[in-house]
Structure 1
């Protein structure tokens, strides 16, 4: 049983002439308060909602029977934007084909954030038609992280895709020889 003892025993100073009777120690039983505390703790633990982990939905391709078979997917170059992630949070991007500057394919440097790559993605999302007839269309962003890009950079660019409401994006690890030259320039 939990008790609280008070230290006053009732006697006076030694050597005093007055005689006082001894008082018994006052005891307070704390058992009920301890029980109540545990009941409250249990109640609040069961009724509060714990923070849920935040995650992003990521669609992965179906497994093929033959993984060595490379599938080439043709995309409309007017709808395509390629983003290459390099080391030290460097980004190069181009619209359409890299080797066609007249189609907007000249590689450009960018940084993360609202005045960097987000601004360019938002321009492209608005300029590319979203619906044509029955088919859904819109901007396609191809994200190509290099071996020296960090996981944080990949998460940052995926966040940009969610913020800009890009309808279709893909993470690709195939880097063409022309793109490899850009990567070499970024990693200098």
Structure 2
């Protein structure tokens, strides 16, 4: 309990002095309350649970050459991840179609994925296949963002592969490989 000590020491002497109140506040109860509150909030809050993204990876033990999936170039979209949150994409084979530089988000690659997926579905009757190629100048966030865009655009078939030297040169030419 808090207490206030107002006693004063009276000494000898003929001078009349005013009484000075010495103040002493006992903070034991306040410290107890603080620890109780800290304990209460630690026990009642929930910590953030890590969010994981499901990826299906090929089995390392099975190394069959016959398992290569042939996909027509007309229904293949390649996305090259560059620096500064920019990417470059093209449809078909490299060098045969003009690459386009875009950013992430609903007005960037998401819109492009939705449009191209509908075009490929209308022309071939099959789903579009997307090849994702992160460069060494892209950050981990860019890979997670493009995988999120795949889920949002409902692209079922995509793969992450290594980028080639020719594609790095194309990114450098576009100014997104810094």
TM-score, with length taken from structure 1: 0.65
Question: CA–CA distance in 2 between the matches of 1:70 and 1:162?
Answer: 28
Aligned to 1:129: 121
What root-mean-square deviation, in Å, do the aligned CA atoms of Structure 1 and Structure 2 show? Answer: 4.1
Aligned to 2:57: 60
Aligned to 1:20: none
Structure 2: gaps (5+ residues): 17-21
Deviating beyond 4 angstroms after TM superposition, the runs of 4 or more aligned structure 1 residues are 27-37
**Is residue 148 of structure 1 aligned with residue 148 of structure 2?**
no
Q: Deviation at 1:55? A: 3.3
Q: Please give the secondary structure, in 1, of the residue aligned with 2:90.
A: strand
**Is residue 163 of structure 1 aligned with residue 152 of structure 2?**
yes
Q: Deviations over 1:57-110 (max 9, x none)?
A: 22222113559x79632124343211012344442211233354xxxx432222
Question: CA–CA distance in 1 between the matches of 2:86 and 2:7?
Answer: 78
Q: Please give the secondary structure, in 2, of the residue aligned with 1:92.
A: strand
Aligned to 1:92: 88
Structure 1: gaps (5+ residues): 17-24
| Alignment size in residue pairs | 171
Question: CA–CA distance in 1 between the matches of 2:32 and 2:169?
Answer: 71
Q: 1:112 aligns with which of 98, 104, 118?
A: 104
Aligned to 2:173: 185
Q: Deviations over 1:130-173 (max 9, x none)?
A: 9x99xxx5332111112333333323322322332322221110
Is the CA contact 2:135–2:163 (under 8 Å) kept in the aligned structure 1? no
Question: CA–CA distance in 2 between the matches of 1:36 and 1:87?
Answer: 52
The 3 A distance-change label for structure 1 pair 36 and 65 is same
